[in-house]
Amino acid sequence: MTLTRVLIANRGEIASRIIRACQELGHETVAAFSEADRNARWVREADLAVCIGPPPAAKSYLNRKAVVQAALDCGATSVHPGYGFLAENEVFAQAVLDAGLIWIGPPPQCIGLMGDKSSALRVATGAGVPTLPRSGVLVSLDEALIEAEVLGYPLLLKANAGGGGRGIRPIVSPDALAVSFDQARAEVGAAFGDASLYLEKLLTGARHVEVQIICDSSGNSIHLYERDCSLQRRRQKVVEEAPSSFINAVTRAELAEAALRLAGVVDYISVGTVEFLVAQDQTFYFIEMNTRVQVEHGVTELVTGVDIVREQIRIAHGQPLSLQQNDVALRGAAIEVRVNAEDPEMSFMGSPGTITVFEAPLGPGIRVDSGFGSGDMVQPFYDSLVCKILAHDVDRKAVIRRLKMALTQTDIQGVTTNLSFLGKALKLSSFQEGSHHTQTLESEIASAG
C-alpha cells in the first residue's frame, strides 16, 4: 500500500481533529503553520510541519500558492482544508488538483455552485427546494413599495452586493420602507459601489436547522439527520445540538430529503451541510450550503456514532461510504458550546494571550475538541475559538444538565473566555424548554445584544 501523507491547511482545534482522524486511518500528517503558530499544539502533534508564512492570515493560511508549494515540498499526497480560510475557495481546490494532489473536499465546481450564496439560491430554486420569498433588484422606492405589498411585511431590506450585514434593515411597514429606502441606497452605494437593493421575507421566531450529508464518488449519499443551531449572537453560532427538539418527524424527513436532492443536482461528493430556517409552523427555507466540515460536526458524531472527518478523508481517497442510510440511527441527544477567548463584559472583544491554566472537564459523555492547552498562545491574528465542549446523554434534559456541570468544571486562565456567558445561555428557560429561536440570545441576555 502506498503512503498517504495529508497536509492540513488549517490551525487550532480543527487541525488537531483532522490529525487525529488521519492517524487513526494510518496516514501521515503535515501541519502547515504560520510563524505565529510555530510552537502550537497541533504543530507538535503532526508527523511533519512546514512554515507557510508570516502571522497575518492573508500571508499564510490564505496564501494559496504558499500552501500548495508547501504540500509539494514536503511530499504530501493530499490536502485537508478544514473550515474557514481556503476551505470554500474554488480556485484553491482546483490548484490542489492541478498540482497532482488529492483535495479532501467536494469537486471545485460544487464549491463554485454552492459556495456562492446567490448561485446556491438559484440551484435550490431549480431543484424545487424552497427559499425565502424575495424581490428582484429594486431601483426605486415606488417599485419597492409594490414588491413589499406582494411579499407581505415584515421584510428585510438587503444589499445585492452584500457582505458583513452592511445595509441590512428590518422593515415592518410601508412608512418604514419609505424612510429606510434612500438611506440604505446611500449606505450600500458608498460601501460597495453598487446601490442595488432587494427585499426578503423576514421570519420571526425561526429556528436554524441544518442537515449533515455525506456523498461518495460511487453515487452513494446519506444524511446524518440535523443539527439545531438557533442560539446565535450576531449571526454566529454559540450553542449547537443534535437532534433538533423543535422539528416534527415529517419535517425531519422532508429536510433530509431536500438536502440530499440539492446535493444530487450538483453531483456533490464529500461531506457537506445544507442550512435551513424553519418557521414556527414548520415550513422551511434553504439559506445556504457549507461545502466542508463544520465546526459543530461533533454533536452529529455523538448521536450517530459516525466519524464524519474519517468518512471525508476515506471518500477523498476514492473509498466508498463505510455505511448505508439504514445503518444511521439517532441515539440520545448532544449539545456543543463554543468556548472563545473573548470578553462578554467588553462587547465580546477578543482576548489574545497565553493560556496559563487549562483544566478540561472529564467524565462520561463529555468530549473536548481543543487546539490549545496550558502554556499555549491564543493569537490575535485568527478567530477566538479556544475549544468546543460537547456532551452526550440519553435525552435533551439530561444532556443540558451534564453540559452545565462540565462548564462549571472547566477552568481556563490567562485569557478571558465566554464560559460564564455560555453558562447563562444553557440556563435560559426558553432554551431549557426548547422554545428558543435565532433572536433569543440577543434579546434575553442583555450583554449579547
Partner 1 sequence: MPEISEIAAPFPGVFYRRANPDSAPLAEPGQVIAVGRVIALIEVMKMFHEVQSAVAGKITEFCAEDGDAVAMGQIIAKIERQS
Amino acid at 365: G
Residue 414 engages partner 1 in binding (rule: CB under 8 A):
no
Select the span of 38-46, 55-63, 282-290, 437-445 touching partner 1 (CB under 8 A).
55-63
Residue 162 engages partner 1 in binding (rule: CB under 8 A):
no
Residue 315 engages partner 1 in binding (rule: CB under 8 A):
no
Rounded to the nearest 10 degrees, how much is the dihedral formed by the CA atoms of 257, 258, 262, 268? -30
Q: What is the CA radius of gyration of the chain?
A: 22
Of these residues, 252, 292, 314, 338, which one is catalytic? Answer: 292
Select the span of 104-112, 287-295, 342-350, 428-436 touching partner 1 (CB under 8 A).
342-350
Residue 186 engages partner 1 in binding (rule: CB under 8 A):
no
Buried b (16+ CB within 10 A) or exposed e, 285-311: bbbbbbbbbbbbbbbbbbbbebbbbbb
CB distance 126 to 120 below 8 Å: no
For residue 240 the three cell numbers come to 449547537
Q: From 53, 1, 3, 55, select the one nearest 29 (Cα to Cα).
A: 3
Closer to partner 1 by Cβ: residue 55 or 320: 55
For residue 231 the three cell numbers come to 442560539
CB of 190 to partner 1, least distance (A): 10
Residue 56 engages partner 1 in binding (rule: CB under 8 A):
yes
Query: Residue 382, Cβ neighbours under 10 Å: how many?
Result: 21
Active site residue 292: yes
CB of 166 to partner 1, least distance (A): 11
Residue 339 engages partner 1 in binding (rule: CB under 8 A):
no
Closer to partner 1 by Cβ: residue 131 or 370: 370
Closer to partner 1 by Cβ: residue 85 or 276: 85
CB of 423 to partner 1, least distance (A): 21
Alpha-carbon gap, residue 324 to 310, rounded angstroms:
15
CB of 66 to partner 1, least distance (A): 15
One residue of 311, 336, 342, 369 binding partner 1 per CB under 8 A = 342
Which of positions 370-399 make contact with partner 1 (CB under 8 A)? 380-384
Closer to partner 1 by Cβ: residue 146 or 349: 349
Residue 137 engages partner 1 in binding (rule: CB under 8 A):
no
Asked, as a colleague might, if the bond just before 364 is cis with ω within 30 of 0, I would say: no
* Crossing angle (nearest 10°) for helices 108-115 and 90-98: 180
Closer to partner 1 by Cβ: residue 344 or 350: 350
Pairing between β-strand 28-34 and β-strand 48-53 as defined by DSSP bridges: parallel
One residue of 341, 391, 399, 441 binding partner 1 per CB under 8 A = 341
CB of 268 to partner 1, least distance (A): 29
Which residue pairs from 65-71 have beta carbons closer than 8 angstroms and sit at least 24 positions apart in sequence?
65/95, 67/7, 67/9, 67/32, 67/92, 68/92, 68/95, 68/96, 68/99, 68/101, 70/7, 70/30, 70/32, 71/7, 71/9, 71/30, 71/32, 71/96, 71/99, 71/101
CB of 159 to partner 1, least distance (A): 14
For residue 241 the three cell numbers come to 445540538
Q: Find residue 239's DSSP bridge partners.
A: 231, 337
Contact characters 428-447, partner 1, x per CB under 8 A: --------------------
Residue 165 engages partner 1 in binding (rule: CB under 8 A):
no
Closer to partner 1 by Cβ: residue 36 or 289: 36
Residue 301 engages partner 1 in binding (rule: CB under 8 A):
no
For residue 419 the three cell numbers come to 464560559
Rounded to the nearest 10 degrees, how much is the dihedral formed by the CA atoms of 400, 403, 404, 409? 170
Closer to partner 1 by Cβ: residue 166 or 424: 166
Q: Outline where 78-173 has alpha helix (H).
A: 90-98, 108-115, 117-126, 141-151
For partner 1 (CB under 8 A), the number of binding residues is 16
Residue 421 engages partner 1 in binding (rule: CB under 8 A):
no
Closer to partner 1 by Cβ: residue 349 or 394: 349
Residue 154 engages partner 1 in binding (rule: CB under 8 A):
no
Residues within the interface to partner 1 (CB under 8 A)? 36, 54-56, 58-59, 341-342, 349-350, 352, 380-384
Q: Write out the catalytic residue numbers.
A: 292
